[in-house]
Structure 1
Amino acid sequence: MNSDRISLFKQFIKEEPANPFNKYALAMEYYETQPEESLSLLRSLLADHPDYLPTYFKAAHLLWESESWDDADEVFQKGIKLAEEQKDQKALQELKAAYLNFEFDRD
């Protein structure tokens, strides 16, 4: 976690609150060391910017790691559907592969 980048991303969010990348980038800074803060930001993105596809993969993983099985399942499925709608084959493959691993882990 880099405090300079965190400060910078927080400033970017203030300057451009409608740009989902800034909040996503901040969530990624918190991802390893403060997963609760990261998940809070990712949940906010899912609510406010449901078409921002990168959010789904990371949010689903954090939910999976916290054993929030139903929430993780829902986020994976929505992400897969969105990737199909956006015709993003790379994201679709990544989400489907992760979802398959999630299903194995869940059972």
Structure 2
Amino acid sequence: MTDRIQKIQEFLKAQPDDAFLQHALALEYIKMGDDTSARALFEKILAAQPGYVGSYYHLAKLLERSGDQDEAVRCYERGMEAAKAAGDQHAFNELRSAWEELTY
């Protein structure tokens, strides 16, 4: 386990519901090749805070890598809805671009 993961886990002990820290930890898991742990964290974030737009993109990319194209498409679509609701045009455009690559 990397030092970064250990540090993030220590921060999470003090703030277990911090979506930013959970998201950062999930990204570290992806770097290590642990998609299972990353997926669980992204799903936990989005279940608790569906407006946490950044996690949709990374979860959908993970789903694509795992071969679950249908679920990736749904994740991109939920992310686009969340980005639109948040007024985050940049995130919306990134999600839409990834969605288009997958669906066309």
- The answer to whether the aligner puts 1:7 opposite 2:40 as a matched pair is no
Q: 2-side partners of 1:63 and 1:46: how far apart? A: 15
Tell me the equivalent position of 1:18. Answer: 17
Q: 2-side partners of 1:74 and 1:27: how far apart? A: 20
Tell me the equivalent position of 2:91. Answer: 91
Deviation readout 1:30-64 (Å, 9 max, x if unpaired):
11321221111111111122111110000011011
For structure 2, list consecutive stretches of 5 or more residues without a partner in the other structure: none
TM-score (norm 1): 0.90
Deviation readout 1:76-101 (Å, 9 max, x if unpaired):
11100111111101101100000001
Tell me the equivalent position of 2:68. Answer: 68
What is the number of equivalent residue pairs in this alignment? Answer: 103
Q: 2-side partners of 1:92 and 1:23: how far apart? A: 22
SS of alignment partner, residue 8 of structure 2: helix
TM-score (norm 2): 0.92
For structure 1, list consecutive stretches of 5 or more residues without a partner in the other structure: none
**Is 70-79 or 93-102 further displaced after alignment?**
70-79
- Please give the root-mean-square deviation of Cα atoms over the aligned residues, in Å: 1.2
**Matching residue's letter, 1:4:** D
**Matching residue's letter, 1:7:** Q
Q: 2-side partners of 1:100 and 1:10: how far apart? A: 35
